[in-house]
A = this chain, B = another copy of it.
Amino acid sequence: MVDLTKMDRGDLQARAQRLDERYLRFKALGLVLDMTRGKPCAEQLDLSLGLLDCLGQNDYRAADGSDCRNYGGLEGLPEARKLFAEFLEVDPSEVIVGGNSSLAMMHDTLTQAVLRGMPGGTAAWRTQPAVKFLCPSPGYDRHFAICQHLGIDMLTVGMNANGPDMDEVEPLVAADASIKGIWCVPKYSNPTGITFSDDVVERLARMRTAAPDFRIFWDNAYTVHHLTETPDRLANLFAACKAVGHADRVLIFGSTSKVSFAGAGVAAMAASAANVRHLKSGMAIQTIGPDKLNQLRHVRFFRDMAGIAAHMQKHAGILRPKFSAVEEVLTRELGGTGVAGWSRPRGGYFVSLDTPDGCAKAVVAMAADAGVQLTQAGATFPHGRDPRDRNIRLAPSLPPLDEIKQALELVAVCVQRVSIAQLLNR
């Protein structure tokens, strides 16, 4: 492949014409493809069909004898707490098992902090002149949306191959007491696919924070979502925090949304005794308890972590060809062109594609015009504004294999075409 950035104007113009012709052929196909979100495909959901009828009419009692059909049990079923304790690598007493959405648990936790504060702090965050969160970016748009919604200022920090740029993070949190937290997707990160290194985890645990009620929102959404036979290993932040006397610093979130059913899974969180006590006192006002029958269904269906691991192998079997197709098309179409870099994730749900600065929005718009919806350009940054306008999140889980190939070919045409337009305008 030739490096577009080194071609002369004539060659670029000729190539642009060929790309335009190819683009028009795509357009003529009348594609209607949606790659906007990390939704599991039907084949993946079929893996968990057993959940639908695994509770018989005589199976509604938890291990402690409680009737899962009735009210109660704010912190979730004992056996569900045990399973999620393994899942999140914590003690069962540190786990709260909730409803179907870990996003809701994060939202509600942050809302509690705004309304009532957090252990270690002096006041509700709403009473403070400014509250800021660090947002390693590219990151997860729904995290940023929660901050925006709650009026929390967002400070973008860099996202490296080994995690957030700790050389940026450490001085910021040490100097500014209004910085109350940081968002992290530490394993197979959304969207860049990286896993935080042991060193980054250790530095997050140890760093000095000016805010006494600083919190790491540790959204371990893809903890068991491997795409290779040699899973990434993530150091245990909670253990590291405990070791240096910072147990209250971390709030861990996870769910089975991309293990069982995306819309009808089970979410859980884990935290120190002080945090759990505080959060439960707020939850007790909000609800009488979670849907324990769905928790029981999940315990019956998966049994234990070995059951979940075996199940995730089946997911990987479905997802691997899709991610391979993305890699194959991008390499074939964009390798060596000098106008694109992309991630080769070993797990998770996304491929992160970088165009030349200033091109991402135009690429996404051009693909949409030909019927392929990508995640909005900029979505992976606070306020939906990518300062370099270059990052595009690709979500290959939902469409069938042939559609992914087609969509990626179109994306590659758009990336080249927009890049050439920029090169010609220099």
* A interface residues with partner B (beta carbon < 8 Å): 37, 39-40, 42, 45, 48-50, 52-53, 55-57, 59-60, 67-73, 99-101, 103-104, 107-108, 111, 114-116, 126, 142, 145-146, 149-151, 257, 261-264, 282, 285-294
Contact = CB atoms under 8 A, between A and B. Distances in A.
Contacts of A151: 115
A262 B57 contact: no
A261 B70 contact: yes
B57 A69 contact: no
Given A49-B57, A52-B55, A293-B52, A103 B262 contact: no
A143 to B, nearest CB: 11
A153 B54 CA distance: 47
B104 A263 contact: no
Residue of A45, A50, A59 most packed against chain B (CB within 10 A) = A45
A42 B55 contact: no
A287 B104 contact: yes
B57 A263 contact: no
Contacts of A60: 45, 49, 52
A287 B150 contact: no
A53 B57 contact: yes
B71 A107 contact: no
Given A49-B60, A107-B287, 13 more contacts: A37-B71, A42-B67, A52-B57, A52-B293, A71-B257, A99-B99, A101-B289, A104-B286, A107-B286, A126-B126, A142-B288, A263-B292, A264-B291
B70 A291 contact: no
13 contacts: A49-B57, A53-B56, A68-B264, A69-B261, A70-B262, A100-B291, A101-B289, A114-B115, A142-B285, A262-B288, A263-B288, A264-B293, A291-B294
A153 B116 CA distance: 16
Contact of A73 (B39, B57, B71, B263): B263
Contacts of A111: 111, 115
Contacts of A55: 52-53
Contacts of A142: 285, 288
B287 A103 contact: yes
A75 to B, nearest CB: 13
A159 to B, nearest CB: 22
